Amino acid sequence: ISSLMLQNELSWRSEPEIRSGLLKLWSAMRQCVESGCRNEGILPGGLKVRRRAPQLYRKLHAERAESDAFS
């Protein structure tokens, strides 16, 4: 599927442009994940949904550190 998508994209822009765009997309996605793991409180919007990612990140990070200590 990825090679088909690449061929489709090559019909209107160069491979370096495609790769540059993918790197920008990856960077934006990574920043969103990092922000989600860092920020606590309530998610934007009117539903008053509590952010769960920071707590989950801390839990998983602690479990990993504990696991590494036993290795």
DSSP 1-51: -HHHHHHHHHTTS-HHHHHHHHHHHHHHHHHHHHHHHH--SB-SSTT-PBP
Per-residue model confidence (pLDDT) at position 66: 82
Per-residue model confidence (pLDDT) at position 69: 74
**pLDDT digits 0-9 by tens, 15-64:** 999 999 999 999 999 999 999 999 999 999 999 999 999 999 999 999 98
Residue 68 predicted with pLDDT over 90: no
**pLDDT digits 0-9 by tens, 4-14:** 999 999 999 99
